[in-house]
Amino acid sequence: MTIEELGNLGEFLAAIATLITLIYLALQIRQNTSLLQLSETRGTQEDADRWRSLLIENKDVASLYRRGLADYDSLDADDRLRFRMLHDQLFFGWQAIFSQHPRHPRVPSGFIKSTFRQPGGQQYWEKSKHRFSPEFVAFVDSCR
């Protein structure tokens, strides 16, 4: 075997090693992406669970939420603030999720629709939507 043939064989083996490395890296990136998506989904679920726990564990918060949905303006100043904070927690969390996946939002549009079926939900949104990104506002308004 000549030196030229050995050189060609070395180049061929290097090309195969490079291809194997690229395939391995692609698989690792795909696996990492899947793990990140799973972590994001878990985080979103944990946030939703914490919010629901506020209502489940505290009858006063649940009552405030129901009264606020029925008529936001009928709440006193302190309860309006608390109601707004409850909804801010939801909507700012949803905006964060939306900003990560604007083309395929993973935001619970059914919950948004049910919120807007209530007068207080509509009142909250009209008074608060200026604080959100225009893209998210357009998405939420499309859920109505």
66-92, pLDDT tens digit by residue?
A: 999 999 989 999 999 999 999 998 888
In a domain, 52, yes or no: no
Q: Are 68 and 131 found together in one domain?
A: yes
Contacts of 75 (CB under 8 A, 6+ apart): 64, 67, 68, 83
Residue 77 and residue 107 in one domain:
yes
pLDDT: which is higher, 88 or 50: 88
pLDDT digits (tens, 9 = 90+) for 86-116: 999 888 888 888 887 777 667 777 888 888 8
Do 124 and 88 reside in the same domain of the chain? yes
Please check whether residues 75 and 109 belong to one and the same domain.
Answer: yes
2, part of any domain: yes
Number of domains in the chain: 2
Confidence class of residue 63 from pLDDT cuts 50, 70 and 90?
very high
Is the confidence at residue 47, as pLDDT, over 80? no
The pTM assigned to this predicted structure is: 0.67
Is residue 62 located within the same domain as residue 87?
Answer: yes
Answer whether residue 77 is part of any domain.
yes
Check whether residue 19 and residue 74 sit in a common domain.
no
Are both 67 and 138 inside the same structural domain?
A: yes
Q: Do 33 and 90 belong to one domain?
A: no
Same domain, 28 and 74: no
Residue 98, C-beta contacts closer than 8 angstroms, at least 6 positions apart = 105, 107, 135, 136, 139
Tens-digit pLDDT profile for residues 24-35: 988 898 888 888
The residue segments making up the domain with residue 72 are 58-143
Asked if residue 51 belongs to a domain, the reply is: no
Which is higher by pLDDT, 45 or 90? 90
In a shared domain, residues 76 and 110:
yes
What's the pLDDT band for 2 if we cut at 50, 70, 90?
confident
pLDDT at 105: 66
Instruction: State the sign of the Cα–Cα–Cα–Cα dihedral 124, 130, 131, 136.
Output: positive
Average pLDDT, the chain: 87
d(CA 54, CA 143): 25
In a domain, 66, yes or no: yes
Greater confidence (139 vs 41) lies with 139
Mean pLDDT of 131-136: 93
